[in-house]
Amino acid sequence: MNRNKTAFRAGKRELTVGAIPRVVGTLSSLRRKFPPRPGAPACDLVEVRLDLTGRPPGWLVRCKAIQAAGWPVLLTIRLAAEGGAWNAADEQRLFLFENGLRELAGADVEWRSKIARPVATLAKELRKVCVISYHDFQKTPPRKELEGVIAQAQEWASIVKISTRLTSRKDEAVLRSLLAGKWKRPLCVIGMGAAWAHTRLSFPNLGSCLAYGYLDKPTAPGQWSAAQLTGKLRQAQP
């Protein structure tokens, strides 16, 4: 089981990732006050999906307020080609990542993106977390191919995330085998698909460092709410 560690830093708070699974609450809108009441979200850190929220005036101020309330913020601006809503130029996206990383705890950028390396380099300079993510919404590639992605991505990343569509027990076994490997960085593994929602719990129990749940609406097939996920993980790992 992979137990490498990294830390999200937000002000004086430091959240260690890798020793135990941490729950990421995904936020798809910045319209409402967040958190709605003190201590409300059942998660360890908040992922702001800027590709879904749009860029409302003061978006970065709102993200900083979330951090001030106690939750490190992971900035994600997901490409449309990888399940997100970003269709504009990568230069604009890089500019947003650069601004965000100077204020927020971390960023998530796709392994296959042209800006993965500059985002990861800046994150390292600023002592922030960079999640390098790989997605396949159609299938689970062979184990050897995924191991190759991890081996390369871990040279830049703070955390490597592998998220694929599950269609069989064989696919599930492939992802489970990744968690048994020895890697340089913490590894997050996610199996997508409503029929495989149980892996949202079983993979963290096997060493996946992050578990993603939604705070307002699902952003991936088979995703649970952050509150559900936190409750079940606390039962499994008090």
CA–CA separation, 202 and 46 (whole Å): 21
Give the integer Cα–Cα distance in Å for 44 and 167.
30
| Residue written as token pair 């191991």 | 147
Q: Is 64 considered catalytic here?
A: no
Distance between CA atoms of 4 and 71, rounded to whole angstroms? 22
Which of 64, 124, 135, 184 is flagged as catalytic? 135
Instruction: Give the gyration radius of the chain's Cα atoms.
Output: 16
Yes or no: say if 170 and 145 are a contact pair by the CB < 8 Å rule.
Answer: no
Whether 217 sits among the annotated catalytic residues: the reply is no
d(CA 94, CA 119): 7
The active-site residue out of 128, 139, 161, 182 is 161
Report the catalytic residues.
135, 161
